[in-house]
Amino acid sequence: MTTNFRDGLLAVVLVILALLLLDPLDFLMPSTAQMTVLAIFLIIFAIFVGLIWKEKASDERENLHRLIAGRLGYILGATGLVLGIVIQNLSHEVDPWLVIALVLMILGKIIGIIHSRSRF
């Protein structure tokens, strides 16, 4: 299995598991099934993070592709969190985890920029 296919398949499985955790079909998973899906989700996420952390670009073009993908992922993630905060704020019930996740993303971006500037 090629690396790109494996990474893509892993991402698809991760998204499917995340959506299952939302219980979209409204069949209210029994506790055991929900815990099993959660455990599998966490394992797949850990593998996914490990693969992303270890990936290396072999040339400038690949490095540019990684940077663009990372930027797009960051923007979409932050936009989703901001939309969640705005929608929940309109109903006067903001989930603190949305704010915490957005703050962590922003701090991670700032720390990454500072680290890369001091390192290179």
Q: Is this prediction's pTM over 0.85?
A: no
Q: How far is CA 89 from CA 31, 99, 102, 105, in A?
A: 30, 11, 15, 20
pLDDT in tens, 62-106: 888 888 988 998 999 999 999 999 999 899 888 889 888 999 999
Nearest alpha-carbon partner for 63 in 55, 51, 75 = 55
